[in-house]
Amino acid sequence: MNIGVLLTRAARRSGDKAAIVHGDQTWTYDAFDRRANQMANALRDLGVKPGDHVALLMFNGAEMLEAMFAAFKLGAAAVPINFRLHPNEYAYIIDHSESAVVFCSPQFSGPLAEVTDRMSRVRHVISVGEVDGDRLDYEATLATGAPAFDDVDVAPDDVAWLFYTSGTTGRPKGAMLTHRNLLAMTMSFYADMCRDFGWNEIVLHVAPLSHGSGLYALPNIGRAATHVIPSSRSFDARAVLEAIERYGVTNLFAAPTMIKRLVECPAIDECDLSTLKCLDYGGAPILLEDLNTAMRKLGPCLVQLYGQGESPMTITYLSHEDHVLEGTEAQLRRLTSAGTARTDVEVAIFDADDRPLPVGETGEIVTRSDLVMKGYWRDPEATATTLRHGWLHTGDVGYFDEQGYLFLMDRSKDMIISGGENIYPREIEEVLIQHPAVREVAVIGVPDPEWGEAIMAVVAADGEVGADALIALCRAQIASYKKPKYIEFVDELPKNNYGKIVKRDLRERYGKKA
């Protein structure tokens, strides 16, 4: 089934219902579906075919959901891009994905123009307002398309969403999420993530639509929910709390850092949050103290998810019922876990030889289900490494207890999660080593009370160089959120007998930096 049918059917059933509220504008489901159809027709007229890729470099807004579903309906794959990335990074994603068309917010027109020579396969750039040069105007392009469109018949394993996720090599990898994957994710959401999920839901999008919030737009569209998209491009805790009260929000997805800001905001004691029945959180660990505070302040609405881009939003979950302030010792201990396997997902722990480990023993977390990606786009080697013997190897380390609760001991070997963003040190190290004075560098994550983890670079230098110069070097080449917060200078980095830098020693040495 083409995942775009979720919108087609929602419009047929609930056409007069508010679909998207963004600023002072409201789209009904009839309008949402009609505009997505028009854009699907317009894309086809521009030469986009089933199987092509369409990049979305956009701030949260109605147009992003329209463009996404236009691609789905056409049988093309959407390539949503994190708008916080550096131009070098999104130019790589656009080129690597072989995207034929790029939709962009006007703020990205200038940066895109600077990297045009690196995006040779792009045939058209469609900008939402403030069009210049050879860019196409979004509304003018949409107006060329007919309002009726028959959703393209697709195979279940045709790619619908190319989800770019950072990799240990420093280059993003495109996880190929199929129509089957996205439908399985949608059905799994209905099964586990929100109790009493019906046809009167109101979802608030406070996280980027290019990631988790966009993925969870799908089950909400499938039930004709109203999507409230704040006008602000940054997270404003007071505005979020006021929006929950104003619109009667029933569900939303947030990173733990967002939850921490919400519960620390004075407005939480002033706003009526009684309509909120499901606040799904994930993407990073949450401190037990912060979770307890959230449960006290927000009530019985929290659900934790553990997933990856390669198994979108769906491996294990800590249910509503598991979020308890008072309970047995076992119940309270479970609050530090990632919960139990999702209804339609298998999860296991393997040793280094891919042999299953018994309860209580620590190893790599693996999973298999209809949610597991098809593979990595244009990367057969990484696909073969990650998808072995029918299982997705997550690179995360953990163990199961006797009751089937998964405890995460560590993440992928080097990955840092800061503010819900996955950051791989190799990307930063590759930039820092370019400085002529830097002999060696190791980047690690250190605890941070606000962001979960902060980035630290430990540098061995042979010449004069200051922290400011190294941070400026990073700012010029990679996304701002990836630049180090701390830089420590040492004579030598710790190494093992094979000459490999031992980051474990650095984490132990600097683990209390914040």
pLDDT digits (tens, 9 = 90+) for 37-87: 999 999 999 999 999 999 999 999 999 999 999 999 999 999 999 998 999
Q: What are the pLDDT digits (tens) for 240-291?
A: 999 999 999 999 999 988 998 999 999 999 999 999 999 999 987 787 888 9
What domain range is 482 assigned to? 416-510
Q: What is the mean pLDDT of residues 122-150?
A: 92
- Predicted confidence at residue 126, as pLDDT, reads 96
- Predicted confidence at residue 514, as pLDDT, reads 56
> What domain count does the chain have?
2
DSSP for 255-272, please give it.
Answer: -HHHHHHHHHSGGGGTS-
Which of 120, 136, 154 finishes a domain? 154
Segment (H or E) for 446:
strand 438-448
Q: What are the pLDDT digits (tens) for 56-69?
A: 999 999 999 999 99
**Would residue 6 count as lying in a domain?**
no
**Would residue 319 count as lying in a domain?**
no
Which of 121, 154, 187 finishes a domain? 154
For the chain, give the percent of residues with pLDDT over 90: 80
**Would residue 116 count as lying in a domain?**
yes
**Would residue 313 count as lying in a domain?**
no
**Would residue 69 count as lying in a domain?**
yes
Which of 139, 154, 169 finishes a domain? 154
Helices (H) and strands (E) in the chain, counts: 17, 26
DSSP for 361-423, please give it.
Answer: --EEEEEESTTS-S-BTT-HHHHHHHEETTEEEEEEEEEE-TTS-EEEEE-STT-EEETTEEE
Query: Which range, 28-32, 429-433, 491-495, is most confident?
Result: 28-32
C-alpha distances out from residue 100 to 51, 111, 121, 123, Å: 11, 18, 6, 5
DSSP state of 254: E
Q: What are the pLDDT digits (tens) for 144-188?
A: 999 999 999 999 999 999 999 864 446 889 999 999 999 999 999
Are the beta carbons of 151 and 179 closer than 8 angstroms?
Answer: no
Segment (H or E) for 8:
helix 5-14
DSSP for 112-180, please give it.
Answer: HHHTGGG-TT--EEEESSS--TTPEEHHHHHHTS-S---PPP--TTSEEEEEEE--TTSS-EEEEEEHH
**Would residue 353 count as lying in a domain?**
no
Q: What is the CATH number of the domain that holds 495?
A: 3.30.300.30
Q: What is the mean pLDDT of the chain?
A: 93
Q: What is the mean pLDDT of residues 309-313?
A: 97
Label residue 430 by pLDDT band (50, 70, 90): confident
Look up the pTM and report it: 0.88
Label residue 410 by pLDDT band (50, 70, 90): low
**Would residue 18 count as lying in a domain?**
no
**Would residue 183 count as lying in a domain?**
no
Is the predicted pLDDT of residue 423 greater than 90, yes or no? no
Q: What is the CATH number of the domain that holds 61?
A: 3.40.50.980
